[in-house]
Copies of this chain bind each other. A is one copy, B any other.
Amino acid sequence: MYYSGIDLGGTNIAAGILDENLKIIKKGSVPTVNTRHYSEIIRDMAMLTDRLLKEAGITYSEVHSIGIGSPGVCDRENGILLYTNNIEFNEVPMRAEMQKYIPLPVYIDNDANCAALGESIAGAAKDVPDSITVTLGTGIGGGIILNNKIYTGFINGMAGEIGHIILRHNGELCTCGRRGCWEAYASATALIRQTRRAAEKHPESIINSLVGGDLSRIDAKTAFDAMRQGDEVGKKVVKKYILYLSEGISDLINIFQPSRVVIGGGISKEGDTILVPLRQIARKSTYYGEGDVPHTEIVKAELGNDAGIVGAAMLGKCQ
């Protein structure tokens, strides 16, 4: 049996076919061209999947289901994408459209949830029944996996907005309209802002020369690079950022005591540079952190950009 998954992004449609060992055996992508009508985009999603299956020599009867990870909010039951910011999609009947082309059960879910499910089933948390995946990107994407299923809440299916918990009462304005959210302190966007502010305040810092004096070129790696060159300002930015990151992770541990917290997104590539202090701070600041009990492990994501495809492909299996 095979599993088919699609990661719908604002720029690209990525699709993959997984075998029974949950390995991607075939993968491809096409541009989303997100100004088009949804029917054209979904047709391309179907055509891409069809092509990958043909290239792999797999017939539809051998495929369990197809899953779609999409930005935004989904009505899982009816297979409808309710709305999203990244693409002009509102009330899109994803399942019905896909089934015009593909004779398979179609499942949809939010892309951050899919990434979390991917890490949970086939990645950094595959040996435990529960995990929280924290993806550090433009925002903080999150997915809560309990008993190998996405936790979506009971009332409206919109649970898991873990980036939107308060870190500082009356703090930085968040994109969600609230002040002081974790996302406004610990996303990649937030780190870039923190790095830029530090560079403006400290013209002597290496940060400025690393970007040739053009602060718009600062990315989420710049402060880490400056730190590695011994820059005191870079060190401080990184230290503070890790503290912000740890605060939200400690909150999640106090609430969920999950078996594992998985850190994904570009910043996670820093590996032990962030993981080692994160673990130390979490031990000190969580409720039973220094007690003689099993502790939540904090680990790096394993699937990288494939997490979304893998998780989407698993939606049908993990209902």
Contact = CB atoms under 8 A, between A and B. Distances in A.
A285 interface: yes
Contact of A153 (B169, B177, B256): B256
A12 B88 CA distance: 61
Contact of A166 (B159, B166, B294): B166
Contacts of A244: 169
A154 B164 CA distance: 24
B128 A154 contact: yes
A257 interface: yes
B158 A251 contact: no
Given A285-B178, A287-B176, A288-B158, A166 B256 contact: no
Interface residues of A, number: 48
Contacts of A176: 287
How many copies of the chain does the oligomer comprise? 2
Contacts of A153: 130, 256-258
Contact of A155 (B156, B259, B284): B259
B288 A257 contact: no
A interface: dominant SS: loop
Nearest to A178: B285
A257 B161 CA distance: 9
Interface string A159-191: 111101111110100001110000001000000
Interface in A241-289: 244, 247-248, 250-251, 254-259, 284-288
Nearest to A130: B154
A247 B156 contact: no
A295 interface: yes
Given A167-B166, A287-B161, A250 B178 contact: yes
A167 B177 CA distance: 17
Given A166-B247, A169-B167, A176-B287, A161 B130 contact: no
Contacts of A178: 250, 285
A278 to B, nearest CB: 15
A159 to B, nearest CB: 4
A70 interface: no
27 contacts: A73-B288, A130-B155, A144-B255, A146-B154, A152-B257, A153-B257, A154-B257, A154-B259, A155-B294, A156-B293, A159-B256, A159-B257, A160-B255, A161-B254, A162-B254, A162-B255, A164-B286, A165-B165, A166-B166, A166-B250, A166-B251, A167-B169, A168-B168, A168-B169, A177-B284, A177-B285, A255-B255
A129 interface: yes
Given A169-B247, A244-B169, A247-B169, A164 B257 contact: no
